[in-house]
Amino acid sequence: MTLPRWLAEFNRRFINPRATNGGTWQVLVHVGRNSAKTYRTPIGAIEVDGGYLIFVNYGRRTDWLRNVLAAGKAVIEIDGGAIDVVNPRLVPISSGRKLLPADTKVPPGWVGVEECLLLDRI
């Protein structure tokens, strides 16, 4: 189980536009699978050895996730810089947690996050 779709839609319409323009969130830049349009999605990317880890809070049907998996690459904007990432792959949350620094906050178990997206830094 993951977070409900209505919450994802609420975030997409009201929170994401402010988060991507405010400069306080990391932003995942990805290309649409069908539209070829460039999208900017606020995320919580956590740096791990050789790349980044992103919790998949809304499950596999999330558009940004499907776009990145289809393209095989994306860009993460952090603190005004752009980092190219490749080789996206889903890993179980238990595997993802092992890659994180000990003091990293992770979604609580009741949220139901089951997977993480692991990306390699170029």
Q: Which CATH code fits 5-121?
A: 2.30.110.10
Mean pLDDT across 37-47:
92
User: Residue 103's pLDDT is what?
Assistant: 85
Amino acid present at 23: G
Q: pLDDT-derived band of residue 104, with 50, 70 and 90 as boundaries?
A: confident
Helix (H, G, I), strand (E, B) or coil at 61: coil
Q: pLDDT-derived band of residue 1, with 50, 70 and 90 as boundaries?
A: low
Radius of gyration of the CA atoms of the chain, in A: 14
In eight-state DSSP terms, residue 33 is T
What does the pLDDT look like over 62-71, one tens digit per residue? Answer: 999 999 999 9
Domain residue ranges in the chain: 5-121
Contact residues for 66 (Cβ-Cβ < 8 A; gap 6+): 33, 60
